[in-house]
Structure 1
Amino acid sequence: MINRRKTLALAGVTLAASASLVAWAETDGHPYDKLVEMGYPAPQEGELVHVPPTMADLEAADMKPQTKAVIRRGYDLFTNTQQLRGKNVFNDMNCSSCHLGEGRQPFSAPVWPAAVTLPNFRGKNQHVNNLEERIAGCFAYSMNGTPPAYGSDDMLALSAYHQWLAKGAPVYPDQPIYGRGFPSPERTDELSYTNGEQLFADNCAVCHSEDGSGLYQDGEYVFPATWGDGSNNWGAGIVRTYTAAGFIKNNMPLGQPLSLSDQEAWDIAYYMTQQERPQDPRYTGSVDEVLEKFGPTFHKHSSYGQEREVDGHRLADHANWGEKGEEVKPWNVGQPRFEDLDVE
């Protein structure tokens, strides 16, 4: 049950978020001028600056109605991925939980760059990935689920939406992309679990609950879980402390981006990424085996397998798979590609 204070606060952040998400796109000048006014860095000379088209632009576009319908379906899946709950999604996430502003928002990992930079090599799975495979990874890790099949209607629709957002951007750009990813704030020398816990309670719990379980209102999903069974698993990108710090600094609290100091963003990220969540799908029965394979790369930036400073608990030393249980296996994890291809 949500008390009155929390309901009012929730309404406030929702309205503020709505305003901030559209503010950069609805301006008389260049859309990114508004971002600079909000405190984000200005585009640098030589950077690729792209303003993704909107769904209103889609309606006005000279395209086949069947194509528009598929892109609309992709948008619907992207913003309400929970409709695939129990089939492909086994936690409380939507794609738009991490990629804010319908996947269009700069500094919130806008998704259009994937459509123009892939196929490309990805360090996470050590081979060249195409767009479908990149989307599939989000289902396996961020959604703690298993992806739609390559070439399926749902995968085609999601790919089409990504490519729609990239309309007009060059393929394989040579220049860096403005607003890409979750740029990390300057790393502080020391991180404080205790300070992060208090900052989370003060700034984050109103939307994500004090236990990190997220927020449902009248049975409807509102805000995602930040840890626990309803959150992403130990293989998701945002469990890396620097990625979480970048997301928090640039986007949180919702409607108040850039309001936290670098130290505050890092401390909250450190606290959040030292909480338990479902197991990494690459787990084969031993945390140490996962660390042997991925400790030098992906998990060197996470708390996976570390002992939590406050109580000595070894993180991720469990076989908890969350809602999906042990039976659901993401079919895309651990699938090698181009093994017979010589690389100099």
Structure 2
Amino acid sequence: MMRKLLTVALSGTFAFSANLAANEDTTQAYIDQLTSMGFPAPKESQLVHIPPTMADLEEADIHPELKKVIRKGYDLFTNTQQLRGENVFNNMNCSSCHLGEGRMPFSAPIWPAAVTLPGYRGKNGHVNNLEERIAGCFTYSMNGKPLEYGSDNMLALSAYHQWLATGVEMYPKQPIYGRGFPAPERPAELSYANGEKLYEENCAVCHQEDGSGLRVDGHTVFPAPWGDMSNNWGAGIVRLFTAAGFIKNNMPLGQPNSLSDQEAWDIAFYMDSQERPQDPRYTGDVKETLEQFGPTFHKHSMYGQVREHDGKVLADHDNTGEKPFLKPDTIRSRNFD
């Protein structure tokens, strides 16, 4: 399979170089480097795509104005904090979760969204386009207010997503290799105490013991895994399997797949048992909200659950962090009845 490829630098852990005219040999070398890091080899039925880089963009035969827009999208993706106080109300960047500039396999690479949307999303129960998917990240992961649909910034972020999908057909029939945060099988029992111990040993050096993360001169170096400066209770990573998949495949940074499956799940259990800003879908009552979203989204989270070691009911509050509102006005239903 022919793939276009340039130098790749992913989250400081993965570097891969090839000629502009990539072939099956370079694709295999790409796969070999991933498997050497503990990732599974792709199945024969899976689509392997190596996204183009920003260096590749400079040599691309596209209009200079389009290049400018894609560069802006990249800048917003890797430094979303420039929208702090307007669209972002915590310490997150898009690249805090989607590592390697959104290109890293097994770290929810963003290019699949560009070729699988519009598509149905169970989280909000209707068909979403790419802009609405990005809006969801701002609403939940950024604990913020989505960019206006059709705005310059939304166009730029969409263009960056689509640039990374260069060469991939729309609605690919093959399953996508490295998509999302694939979680290891859940162990029979999860341990809060072991998760706390493992977090202190492996995670606190970057993310701090209190989960506040690290900022230097107003720039986020390591994001906050919980607390007011983290994602809110509606973000995807509050689901235990999502957090476990992210941790297993990506953490500690530079040491992917170094934790056992049990360790990844225990850290996820500990991390997602801490408080954070309220879910924007909050009805005013945590039990009522859990009844509404428990059968779907929150059946995988600790939302509204009693924390065993101290009896605290998680998310039983109206705290929205630094955000001066609960629900952005862009959250809406959609149907074609």
* One of 329, 332, 335 as aligned partner of 1:331: 329
**2:11–2:253 CA contact under 8 A, matched in 1:** no
> CA deviation digits over 1:97-124, x for unaligned, max 9?
0000000000000000000000000000
Contact 2:281–2:327, Cα closer than 8 Å, also in 1: no
Matches of residues 61-210 of structure 1 in structure 2 within 5 Å?
Answer: 61-210=60-209
**1:50 paired residue number:** 49
Quote the offset at 1:290 in angstroms.
1.1
Q: What CA deviation, in whole Å up to 9, does each residue of 1:212-258 have, x standing for no partner?
A: 00012344321000000000000000000010000000000000000
Q: TM-score, normalised by structure 1?
A: 0.91
Q: Deviations over 1:293-344 (max 9, x none)?
A: 1100000000000000110000000000000133x642222x111241xxxx
CA RMSD in angstroms comes to 1.4
Q: Find the residue that maps to 2:183 and give its secondary structure.
A: coil
CA distance in 2, matches of 1:246, 1:18: 16
Structure 1 residue 18, shift from structure 2 partner: 5.0
Distance across 1 between alignment mates of 2:177 and 2:214: 32
With over 3 angstroms needed to count, the CA separation of the structure-2 counterparts of 1:18 and 1:126, relative to structure 1, is closer
Matched residue type, 2:259: L
Structure 2: gaps (5+ residues)? 1-8, 19-24
Contact 2:10 2:101 in 1 (8 A): no
Instruction: State the shift of 1:175 in Å.
Output: 1.3
Identity %: 74
Aligned to 2:246: 247
Q: How many angstroms apart in 2 are the aligned matches of 1:190 and 1:339?
A: 44
Partner residue, 1:4: none
Aligned partners of 1:197 and 1:218: how far apart in 2? 29
SS in 1 for 2:120: strand
Q: 1:176-200 CA distances to partner (integer Å, 9 max, x unpaired)?
A: 1000000001210000000000000
SS at match of 2:221: strand
User: TM-score normalised to the size of structure 2?
Assistant: 0.93
2 CA distance for matches of 1:225 and 1:94? 11
- The runs of 5 or more residues in structure 1 that have no matched partner are 1-15
Does the CA-based 8 Å contact 1:47-1:176 persist in structure 2?
yes
Aligned equivalent of 2:264 = 265
Distance 1:218 1:73 in 2: 22
Task: State the Cα distance separating 1:33 from its structure 2 match.
Answer: 1.7
Partner of 2:13: 20
How many Å separate the matches in 2 of 1:293 and 1:279? Answer: 15
Partner residue of 2:293? 294
Q: Do the aligned residues in 2 keep the contact of 1:17 with 1:254 (CA within 8 Å)?
A: no
How many residues align? The count is 321
Do 2:121 and 2:127's aligned partners in 1 also have CA atoms closer than 8 Å? yes
Q: Distance in 1 between the 2:12 and 2:233 partners?
A: 33
User: How far apart, CA to CA, are the structure 1 residues paired with 2:156 and 2:40?
Assistant: 33
- The structure that is helix-richer by fraction is 1
Tell me how far apart the structure 2 counterparts of residues 136 and 226 of structure 1 sit (CA, whole Å).
Answer: 21
